[in-house]
Amino acid sequence: MASSSNSSFSPDAKYFASCDNDGKLRIWETQKNVLFQEFTPNFHLNAPCSCLKWMCSPGGPSPGGPSKKKLKKSRDVGEDIIAMGTSNGRILLYSLATAKVEGQLEGGHKSSAVTGLSWFPGTSLYSCGDCVIAEWNISEKKAKNKWKAGTEKIGCVLVSPDGKHVLSSSRSIKLWNPATGELVMTFIGHASPVISLTFVPKPAPNGAYYFVSSAKGDRYMNVWSFGKGGDKTAVVSMVLESESAGAVSLYEEQESGTINLAAVTHNGVVQTFSHQLNGRCPKPLKPTLTIQVATDSSRGKESVEPIPIVSTLCAFKEEVKIAYGIGTFLAFENVVLNYDEKLQVLVRQDPRKVHQESSTDTSLVKVPENQKAQFLPPSAANAVVSGTKRTHNRRAEVPMEERLENLSLTLRADDRPTGMPRADNLSQLMLQALHSKDKHMLHTVLLRREEDVIRNTVRKLPLQVIEPLLKELTTLLHGKTAMAQTGARWLKVVLSIHSAHLMANPSLVELLSPVIGLIETRLSVLPSLNRLSGRLELLASQLEGASGSDDNAAALDMQSSLLLYQDADTSDEDDAQDDNGGLVSESDDHWEELSDSDNSVDEDSDDNDVEMAD
């Protein structure tokens, strides 16, 4: 929800200005529910807008406003100036008539952020920043007075309707005399820093002024008084159902003096109070009516989805103007208060869907009002028939030579493709898979291992699908080894390419916490796995060494026996006799005896054969 100091209605409720965290000033026209102007300062990123205040000039041209040539345009738009306080201490004066910055106020707060602005009709503008309050002369664009308001950081500042007093708030509320810079009174009653101050326009019959304050994270709004019969403590307390968002507006009835107050709570509803200020109230007041906006376009017909209210303006007796929506999609409406019920629920269409429907309605087809219109066929659409003469639209035609080349079935040598076309970008398939939540299609894309394909795909993806892709990759990382490797490969590329977008995402911790937990769990077992891997490698090397030594020994034995075997020959025997000195050995004598005995045996056998023959 936008801060109350960064968004507010104009006093006439015709415009609504808001400055978000992106530093852009957006102004809506509340009667037409359209964005009227959008302005981006040159230094919106280094020094974004910290607060804004409407300054109206009912008489004469606006300070620093348009010249006489633009006076007519300014009368149509209005003589409104928006003072924008920035985080570097500057104050920009933006004009609705010229749609640009007409001047700057510098030197009042040095480099501290401007935290609050208050406009007094005329030429005075009050600002606060850090511990200093400054009063500016708008016509001369310089600070005419400034003083130190204590030692605590000031959250907001407010000038009284008569311009004689200035309120400043931190945890306590202090009343100052701007002419002398002296402290008049201190109000104590809030335990947290005060975020909004609102004056009752007219004083009480006794001359006392009343103002309303609300604090950050506090459900109570207090009403204070100063002047005749004033007190340092709150005279009236109002209790909200939830903590205040700071957007408070009130309307005072002229006849009875009763104030009707409307306040926006932190949960996006408006609660109204009605009370007549005539003294101290002993009990806290409860809201008389609660206004809530909801849409019935949710999943079930019986359930509704709330739409937060960002601001309210109570400018009428029984009617308030509200602004509801999210971010830059806002809608505005005048709500008539129904006090017969405690809760008033407004069923409206979500402004975001209204914007989408209006942006998608881009059809340029116009249905002719004349029923006698003649529709031409597509073949005659390029020609205009006028009587008996036909004139063709002049356009560049393709030469006959190029037409014949296109019809040729043979390709020239320089026109032949050098290789098969391949897709190096699967971003469209990835978008379709994420949109339809098709797991098979998504895994088909994620299983690609080419580094250039992965990088081109991730680089072409829009930023809106990075968060769903991270969730899918986290699911893969918790899977088995192959899927975990695939998820880690894609996650590395996503983090390297879209690191700037992820660092600016407020839900980055929530997205990456499962991945970080998984990485820490797996890293915790990494030392044990390294030791086990080393032991297995050592054991495997020893087994290979033992088996290799046995095989080598057998091979060496076989190789030695084949090489050392030699067959003896006669030359070796002669060498042996020569070595013995030429003497015959006993073995030689034995062989001679055996030879003689063999001869005698043979002779005896021959004789016996002769005798048997005889």
**Residue pair 612/605 in contact by the 8 Å Cβ criterion:** no
Per-residue three-class SS string for 131-148: CEEEEEECCCCEEEEEEE
Residue 172 pLDDT more than 60?
yes
CA distance 299 to 296: 9
Residue 326 pLDDT more than 70?
yes
CA nearest neighbour of 217 among 158, 174, 166, 155: 155
Report the pLDDT value the prediction gives residue 236, as an integer from 0 to 100. Answer: 93
Report the pLDDT value the prediction gives residue 523, as an integer from 0 to 100. Answer: 80
Report the pLDDT value the prediction gives residue 419, as an integer from 0 to 100. Answer: 46
Least confident stretch, 44-48, 273-277, 568-572: 568-572
Residue 118 pLDDT more than 90?
yes
Report the pLDDT value the prediction gives residue 49, as an integer from 0 to 100. Answer: 86
Residue 404 pLDDT more than 80?
no
Report the pLDDT value the prediction gives residue 108, as an integer from 0 to 100. Answer: 85
Report the pLDDT value the prediction gives residue 360, as an integer from 0 to 100. Answer: 52
CA nearest neighbour of 7 among 328, 316, 262: 328
Q: Looking at residues 466-492, what average pLDDT do you find?
A: 82
Helix axes of 466-477 and 427-436: crossing angle, nearest 10 degrees: 80
pLDDT band (50, 70, 90) for residue 417: very low
| pLDDT per residue as tens digits for the range 423-443 | 667 878 888 888 877 888 888
| pLDDT per residue as tens digits for the range 340-350 | 889 999 999 88
pLDDT band (50, 70, 90) for residue 574: low
Residues with Cβ within 8 Å of residue 17, at least 6 apart in sequence: 7, 8, 10, 25, 26, 27, 28, 52, 54, 82
Q: Looking at residues 140-150, what average pLDDT do you find?
A: 88
Burial of 352 (0-12, 13-18, 19+ CB in 10 A): middle
Least confident stretch, 41-55, 313-327, 395-409, 526-540: 395-409
pLDDT, the chain, mean: 76
Q: Looking at residues 257-278, what average pLDDT do you find?
A: 91
Residues with Cβ within 8 Å of residue 21, at least 6 apart in sequence: 48
Query: What tokens were used for 144?
Result: 């005419």
Report the pLDDT value the prediction gives residue 79, as an integer from 0 to 100. Answer: 60
pLDDT band (50, 70, 90) for residue 546: confident
Report the pLDDT value the prediction gives residue 537, as an integer from 0 to 100. Answer: 87
What is the Cβ-side half-sphere exposure of residue 572, based on CA atoms within 13 angstroms? Answer: 4
pLDDT more than 70, % of the chain: 71
**Contacts for 162-170 with beta carbons within 8 Å, 24 or more apart?**
162/203, 163/120, 163/122, 163/124, 165/209, 165/226, 166/118, 166/126, 166/133, 167/197, 167/211, 168/128, 168/133, 169/193, 169/194, 169/197, 169/213, 170/194
Residues with Cβ within 8 Å of residue 207, at least 6 apart in sequence: 227, 228
CA nearest neighbour of 433 among 465, 462, 458, 456: 465
pLDDT more than 90, % of the chain: 23
Our CA angle for 180, 138, 99, nearest 5°, is 150
Q: Looking at residues 354-366, what average pLDDT do you find?
A: 55
Are β-strands 124-129 and 305-307 bridged in parallel, bridged antiparallel, or unpaired? unpaired
- Per the rule left: phi > 0, alpha: psi between -120 and 50, beta: everything else, 231 is beta
Residue 165 pLDDT more than 50?
yes
Residues with Cβ within 8 Å of residue 15, at least 6 apart in sequence: 9, 27, 28, 29, 30, 36, 78, 80, 96
